[in-house]
Amino acid sequence: MKILVPVKRVLDYNVKPRVKADGTGVDLANVKMSMNPFDEIAVEEAIRLKEKGAASEIVAVSIGPAKAQETLRTALAMGADRAILVQTDDAVEPLAVAKILKAIADAEAPGLVILGKQAIDDDNNQTGQMLAALTGWAQGTFASKVDVEGDSVSVTREVDGGLETVKLKTPAVVTTDLRLNEPRYASLPNIMKAKSKPLETKSPTDYGVDTAPRVKVLKVAEPPVRQAGIKVADVDELVAKLKAMGVHS
């Protein structure tokens, strides 16, 4: 079984985002960029499935600028077999991403697509679900456990009330949650090997996808600064202050 793993290049999670002075977006100049953490988990899960003998090939895919090659090389160093970069300098919305991934899935015929449940830059949590809708494949979102059993896959999902297990017939789409696994660090020998692994470059037009935005960003702003709280000596003082604020039981 072939596994397709989409990965996204995002602002590193350790970096505090800075809003551009004109409010048009987040300033990405001269800041560290990394693979989306949820996508790292997806790559790790694909590798574990291959190590168990459930998968034969892992194909990493990224849609973004030329520098997204670095993100794909990270996936290759972790253990992916080859990579595809759909190169574009435009901001690509989830629907366009899903359409491109659908075209790649049609060409590659994977048994499983594993991707992060959301990207930490836009937090949309849409691409996996849209891809499943476009392909007509079964989907298991927010996965905390994945087991491949022949031509089906069991996915334990994190839902509001606890855990839910669904059994999907492959091909299927799975989106990963934080507790699925702990991604490995790429070793130096594997980083060197990744440089010689195949990385194909395409464009959105190669797949016949229009990436023109459907959503217009009016303004990006920092969240308001929280006001400092105050300490109270005892419950009586707390009740008195709540009453003064107009809070009643």
Query: Range with the lowest mean pLDDT among 21-25, 152-156, 188-192?
Result: 21-25
Q: Which domain range does residue 204 map to? A: 2-244
Provide mean pLDDT across the span 12-30: 88
Phi/psi for 12 (5° steps) reads: -55, 140
Number of structural domains, the chain?
A: 1
pLDDT for 224 beyond 90: no
Q: Is 194 inside a domain boundary?
A: yes
Peptide bond into 171 cis (omega under 30): yes
Q: Which residues contact 143 (CB under 8 A, 6 or more apart)?
A: 45, 155, 156, 157, 158, 174, 175, 176, 177, 180
Q: Is 249 inside a domain boundary?
A: no
> For residue 24, what pLDDT band results from cuts at 50, 70 and 90?
confident
Model pLDDT, residue 147: 95
Q: Is 51 inside a domain boundary?
A: yes
Per cent of the chain over pLDDT 70 is 99
> For residue 248, what pLDDT band results from cuts at 50, 70 and 90?
low
pLDDT for 168 beyond 80: yes
Query: Range with the lowest mean pLDDT among 68-77, 192-201, 217-226?
Result: 217-226
Model pLDDT, residue 249: 55
Single-letter residue type at 145: K
CA angle 6–11–16, rounded 5-degree value: 150
pLDDT for 207 beyond 70: yes
H helix intervals, the chain: 37-51, 68-78, 94-108, 127-135, 188-194, 235-244
Q: Tell me the C-alpha distance between 117 and 42, whole Å.
A: 9
Q: Tell me the C-alpha distance between 70 and 34, whole Å.
A: 8
Question: Structure tokens of 243?
Answer: 């009453």
CATH number, domain of 32, equals 3.40.50.620
Question: Structure tokens of 52?
Answer: 């168990």
Name which residue leads in pLDDT, 248 or 29. 29
Model pLDDT, residue 247: 66
Q: Is 100 inside a domain boundary?
A: yes
Q: Tell me the C-alpha distance between 60 and 80, whole Å.
A: 6
Q: What are the residues facing 247 on neighbouring strands? A: none
Task: Decide: helix, strand or coil at residue 142.
Answer: strand
Provide mean pLDDT across the span 55-71: 96
pLDDT for 38 beyond 90: yes
Q: What is the mean pLDDT of the chain?
A: 93
Q: Is 162 inside a domain boundary?
A: yes
Phi/psi for 248 (5° steps) reads: -120, 150
The alpha-carbon radius of gyration of the chain (Å, integer) is 21
Name which residue leads in pLDDT, 61 or 30. 61
Model pLDDT, residue 81: 96
Task: Decide: helix, strand or coil at residue 47.
Answer: helix
Q: Tell me the C-alpha distance between 83 and 71, whole Å.
A: 10
